[in-house]
Amino acid sequence: MDSLFLGVNIAVFLAIIGFLIWMQKKHISFTKRVFTGLGIGIIFGALLQAIYGTDSDILANTSEWYHIVGSGYIRLLMMIVVPLVMVSIIQAIINLEKSSELGKMSAWIIGILVTTAMVAALVGVGSAALFDLNADQIEAGQAEDERGNMMESSLEEVQDLSAPEKILAFIPSNIFLDMTGERSTSVIAVVIFSMFVGIAVLGVRRKKPEQAEMFTKIVNAVYAVVMRIVTLVLRLTPYGILALITTTVANTDVAGIVELGKFVIASYAAIFVMFIIHLVLVGAFGLNPMVYLKKALPVLTFAFTSRSSAGTIPLNIQAQKNSLGVDQGIANMSASFGATIGQNGCAGIYPAMLAVMIAPSVGINPLTPEFIIKLVLIVGISSFGVAGVGGGATFAALIVLSSMGLPVALAGLLISIEALIDMGRTALNVNDSMLAGTLTSRVLGKLNLQTFNDQTAIQKDIAL
């Protein structure tokens, strides 16, 4: 009987995929197909949970089959992240008119990412205080205790690294190892290596222009092929989102959400406020916030369902370049840097809220100016190198809480709602990287305003 139900679930899922394929053949826009997949996935996931329950073996087996599409799509994206970042950065640098432009681009992008992360920390403090969050209000079960013990064990590894050692972690010693994504700072390491290659080509161009020209042609050819692969993979986005959101909703711990509902609401309130701040910044730089939001939504939708900033890099770059009119080099750098630096949700809001929650348990008033200033500064510094995949927020929380002298085990109390709030955090992280690219391009006079204001310029090449 279980096999019958499993077969029905798979058949229904394939039928929904068939419907999305039909929409593509009818040339319905990419954005509409993405949101159709999201909407159907939410409804279908809720139905599966209502019918089988979260502890059902049938649902577990069904999710495994659905993961072929959802997790398979994320793997394809992760597959192209390293070659895309590497070739994009190299091409961006060798196409610069002046090497001094590289420093300006990097400074503005990193400055925006880190500054907004510090602002996000203040928003997190305000939200935690407004909703009167306190770790003592949460009851710990076996899963929470196990998560707390795991975080304490992980803390030992983090504490073993001094501040200079954390900085050294960004510098690649084995670029082939970093190409595998083995370290949390692998993406930044690949970016640094690619920048060295690009700068080296600029030097070769002055002394041996023929060799530089040959290398440039090779890079441009490889870039064209890589971007074609990106386009092919991104066309699978509606199906990936359908699978990801279906399994997420179907397996969501409703009881855990109800029990920790106040933290969920406080988290999303802070995330919403930070989104508004992002849009205000867009407006402050003379751009239409609603146009920006409309064009960013498909990317944010995928980030929300996948919970992977690194996996969103290809879609992020495409949207910045083709929809928002951001300079290609700036889009490449902001998407790459934004995957591990200054993440507003995971490295800003989340650890700040945890610090305010946990501080009273050890007799510390978290609303004193000294505590808040120290927290914001630590968030700004620790926002470098947060992993761009699920689990990055935990890493950030470990660094911030330990630096503030707070017990990290209490953070394990939120395990039952971790996935739910991580979806919103990831969307905010990705939006910040898109914001950094858009504003940097605007400041440096490289933003194509015609493309930005073109209401139809939304992932045209992917929609085909």
pTM surpassing 0.85? no
Place of tokens 């992980």: 154
250 touches 63 (CB < 8 A): yes
Distance, in Å, from the CA atom of 137 to the CA atom of 34, rounded to the nearest integer, reads: 39
Q: Which two tokens stand for residue 123?
A: 């928003």
Tell me the CATH architecture of domain 2-463.
Orthogonal Bundle (1.10)
434: amino acid identity, one letter: M
Coil, strand or helix at 458: coil
* Run means of pLDDT, 10 residues per run, the chain, 464 residues: 86 94 88 87 90 85 91 85 83 72 86 94 94 69 48 52 65 83 74 86 87 90 86 87 88 67 89 97 95 92 84 88 90 85 88 89 88 91 62 71 76 66 90 96 93 74 44
Query: Where does 235-327 have alpha helices with state H?
Result: 237-250, 254-259, 261-284, 289-306, 313-322
DSSP state of 140: P
Terminal CA-CA length for the chain: 42
What's the pLDDT at 98? 63
C-alpha to C-alpha distances, 400 to 86, 321, 348, nearest whole angstrom: 31, 34, 10
What's the pLDDT at 161? 56
C-alpha to C-alpha distances, 342 to 171, 203, 220, 288, 303, nearest whole angstrom: 18, 31, 30, 24, 16
Domain parsing of the chain, residue ranges: 2-463
For residue 350, give every residue at least 6 positions away whose Cβ sits within 8 Å of its Cβ, in sequence order, or none: 124, 267, 393, 396, 397, 421, 425
Q: Which two tokens stand for residue 49?
A: 């949970």
What's the pLDDT at 461? 43
Transcribe 111-133 into DSSP letters.
HHHHHHHHHHHHHHHHHHHHTT-
Q: Which two tokens stand for residue 134?
A: 């306190």
What's the pLDDT at 414? 65
Coil, strand or helix at 390: coil
